[in-house]
Structure 1
């Protein structure tokens, strides 16, 4: 790419020593050998503005034509490209061009599908175009993000911000029972924030989700304030020995059952000494399903100060999506349980 761009803009490739030094430091910080081929990544067009890439070794390149047009070249690795776009490209574009003001507010919902959510807010949504407000549904397994947007002249930024906030609040009021957060916050962040506010703790006991719930929670910075630990009880002996599930219930009802997930959650809560515990047990597939318990069937439970709650869901037939959707759904159940407050459930 850089050879083509250098030729197109009538310039030559030269060594940018400051970039070469940064690339070398990047490799050394990871204890990876630094070779000549790596140093050559700093051979870049003389007449471009080099955009430093803190997430990798391939720099971005910014070219300006006399007419005012701009050409930008970025790394191909998606997360490096995104990082460079946010840190370098967008700020430069805003400075270089007179752009309209575009503002967005993202609201995260869970426990409701896209079509049901759209039906819930249909009257509000139908009035948005006349106000100059856009709406986009961004579904993913277990949650739907709603992005509300406004656009107008830069001098109208204040009024646009007021309009955006008013419409965002109107949506939250309509979909309150399903809203778990705003902005980049997702289910794990929402659960951990609520636990922190309540001064409470959480642990997990996972079978079919294989530690995915704990991984989602501990991926959030500061999770250790509320997330104490977890048990991956894939084998029934672990369910018995570590979580106190009775051999009788396992023999009579099987591991994928209401009584077993309740016992798993209760046992984890007692064993780890937390206020809340989550448990999952299901058939993730692709094999192992029966007519009574098909692939995709998952039992899950929440144990809290007032007892245990359990639910049975079916999440399709694809293993990865079953695990992902089950992990998100149990976090939704916990969030709802905490929002509703303690109640005796069994």
Structure 2
């Protein structure tokens, strides 16, 4: 048993946390450039290079693997899977399918439109819309890399629960009439599902890596830059006063600050890592991440073109309340996860 634990520990350290990369960049920073990583400049440089390379490696590997899996679930097949299921079971399936779809809320909205035009219940489509940017498979592995398996698994579970509950509430309130009319009028072409060959799936996965890489690289660099700034230049006393455990409004502040931003899991993780390193509660950190990925202002603007104001406000309120509850719960029970 100890041997198995040792193997898993080694895999976590070397493949997810990439200790080898940390030590390599440390050697480059200290021995080659002559900058101590304990100092602000050296520490910032080490943080920026290490996190950027680490995220880009994980990004490429994860997108390839997830896109390969996703090739088995084109929108037409997904619509068929969801079409015959209603109620909470449908919400659960919609939330689970959201874990193998695009990595930001904006790219999930076109699929949401397709599902709605196909006549799927509005509650199921919203369960999908909540879970898609929030708890994709990439977030599980990336969170394991930064915060460990307990926090990563707990994050995914509560994210799925939020997606199911949110979709169920919207379904029970009969909000179908608040979908913009043109969405329902879009002709749903029931295209024949063509099976892809293994070579085609690999090609598709490679293309997705390139496409998503081009879409997120700038946000990753910005996120890592902000993370390096927080990690090495902003005093811990200031962070603790603003959103530390001593501030009872820390989760609320983190949620409100996160909403106007636009990024995905790859761009927010370096910031979350830096905040966590400064002693910010894990619930506050996760609330910030969730707000950025699920309720970013650009995605809300896009969604406002698809649903009417009452449904949009209801969606934001449900998700925001859920995020705040999750944040305070993680802070309260962090001793079980860290």
Please indicate the TM-score interval, normalised by the length of the shorter structure: under 0.3
TM-score, normalised by the number of residues in structure 2:
0.21
Q: TM-score, structure 1 length as denominator?
A: 0.21
Identify the structure with bigger relative contact order (alpha carbons < 8 Å, sequence gap 6+): 2
**Which structure is larger by alpha-carbon Rg, 1 or 2?**
1
